[in-house]
Structure 1
């Protein structure tokens, strides 16, 4: 029996070496990964030559010695055969399947290296034909994977209403809220949006949102409870957009507290769950399960540029029903925030270059100089607005936010200062 050991990058390469060295009848005994290298042990049965007949003149002692030698050889062969049978029984079904389907096995191995769950990888290669080239098979897999990730359209940003962002601590809710507000301001102006925060836990948590409100010229309101939000929503126009920032919570706290449960039947509130791509798959599953009590309708994926293996994130996204609405891949307020692009996300997860990144780099090399990026004209053909803004003596607040008779909300205590102090020109990249 001829037993040999091979080292290869993947199972497909190992099978090629086995066929070249030992022929198509060789049997895989075991396979394992050692320091990132696939190690395969294969065996080939070698026919033994028949022993020559004993000479008539051979003495009795010589014939006995020859018989003992043949018996010992037979015992060794039986022992090797028993070991071979034991190894074949221990050989997993996965390795046996990989021997029969080397192309599919190679693709699965590549997906697992990218962070995808192995069971998901096996389901994605359904219908793969072994006569395809690896490039064709990989291209079809990429297309299928991109189509499998659900995405939704941000309708609430167009029609107005109440949109609340929820998620774990450090997920990027406040930054995402500013980006969504800028999206609305670009189209309908600063009077069309209001920023609201409930985050009173972190020291200075509202300062970041307040700074954005000062630059954009929109009010920032710090509320005490959900009833204040209900009063605010009832006193604003139906097409006005109220963006709500909530405090970050752990998975356990989010599961115990049902956010907005007391007022959902009184006002329509849409909730988006903000999740960071830096979470491990297990932690992300816990977050998705815990925040189900907030009844989210969509997901916002942040910190894509900081993730090590996006395959884990896509594996989790494919397991649940919520669609992706926005994604961010950097710290820049506008340039690094995009509507959901599953094809772009899939290429990043597979470790492939994305065509979207190159044009952005070209634009950054030649920035466009504008006077005020927060108040760009709604119509591209219309002339740019004047930069002569004057600091108002009181915070700019719509008349709909006057204090109610009950005294639940007061402009002095809840509406933070929101002005436009910038008069100098600003560089912005588009």
Structure 2
């Protein structure tokens, strides 16, 4: 803003001087009489002339840390992670990169998974009763045998309870494994007998593993039969799922099973798949944690541990 003083014999003359020199946009700051003359203080805003024909010039200040998520986006797309979960992951990684100045993809993705997902252990005895459920052929019986084997190696007293009255072969198989491991095996036909068996088992065993019949989640009668078992005992629910399953179908199935309060997701046949988008999608949509993974059909090889770092490595590999 530019200020100027004007002196004249009359107010009219002073105002004419202002108008002639500063133009109609002049601002009158003050007007007073000094020694018989009129004094006017006026001002004019200085405006920068804009050339609308000139090319636009943008000054870009580069960020100190800039994370290019294009490769990570491609990895999530390759694995088949559904869009809503993938965008959450990418947004978290971008924010974390800016906050902490990290550009390494594995570190960012590991931190993201540590924040988004829960991780636990099937040998955690805070809740000693574990119930396994899933669709037919998802590997529940084999998983239970592997968990029982790990319990034996860790000197944890364990027993197996089967409620599978559909496949007699699965019961014979579990009973045979139990004998090899010198672990007790019980069979229950319904909810009442399961309640009694679990109450008795908790007095003698540190870990109780419950097998349930394979269930088609799209058949209401089968879900209700599973409900009659799931609601009679206090336990941690573990859902087994084929790691190579279509992401959208896997999420739909998991949402149905999650009405029972699934705590952990246990992927099977991880050695036979190269894409784990279904697992990330289930965990992201249904807020189900990870406890372990089966990477071999061999009982003796046990289960592989799953954590935020191993998941990130699988996505980026």
**Shorter-chain TM band:** 0.5 to 0.7
Q: Does 2:183 align with 1:218?
A: yes
Distance 1:297 1:316, change over 3 A: closer
Q: 1:342 aligns with which of 285, 308, 312?
A: 308
Q: 1:293 aligns with which of 234, 259, 270?
A: 259
SS where residue 135 of structure 2 aligns?
Answer: coil
Q: Does 2:272 align with 1:306?
A: yes
Q: 2:149 aligns with which of 178, 182, 190?
A: 182
Query: Are the equivalent residues in 2 in contact too, given 1:167–1:275 (CA < 8 A)?
Result: yes
- Indicate the larger mover: 147-156 or 270-279: 147-156
- Hey, what does 1:162 align to over in structure 2? 129
- Hey, what does 2:49 align to over in structure 1? none
- Cα offsets for 1:350-375 (capped at 9, x unmatched): 2x2xxxxxxxxxxxxxxxxxxxxxxx
C-alpha distance in structure 2 between counterparts of 1:321 and 1:158, whole Å: 22
Give the gaps of 5 or more residues in structure 1.
1-100, 353-430
CA RMSD of aligned residues (A): 3.1
Larger Rg: 2
Higher relative contact order (CA 8 A, sep 6+): 2
Q: Does 2:89 align with 1:124?
A: yes
C-alpha distance in structure 1 between counterparts of 2:303 and 2:96, whole Å: 38
Q: 2:286 aligns with which of 309, 314, 320?
A: 320
- Hey, what does 1:18 align to over in structure 2? none
Distance 1:130 1:245, change over 3 A: closer
Q: 1:199 aligns with which of 161, 164, 187?
A: 164
- Cα offsets for 1:236-286 (capped at 9, x unmatched): 344623211111011123674163547846x42332111221211111112
TM-score by length of 2: 0.66
Deviation at 1:314, TM superposition (A): 1.4
- Hey, what does 2:210 align to over in structure 1? 244
- Hey, what does 1:112 align to over in structure 2? 77
- Cα offsets for 1:139-171 (capped at 9, x unmatched): 444334432452333376425643211111111
TM-score by length of 1: 0.50
Give the gaps of 5 or more residues in structure 2.
1-65
Query: Are the equivalent residues in 2 in contact too, given 1:169–1:247 (CA < 8 A)?
Result: yes
C-alpha distance in structure 2 between counterparts of 1:138 and 1:161, whole Å: 37
- Hey, what does 1:171 align to over in structure 2? 138
C-alpha distance in structure 2 between counterparts of 1:106 and 1:312, whole Å: 19
- Hey, what does 1:147 align to over in structure 2? 114
SS where residue 170 of structure 2 aligns?
Answer: coil
Number of equivalences: 245
- Indicate the larger mover: 339-348 or 271-280: 339-348
Q: Does 2:193 align with 1:228?
A: yes
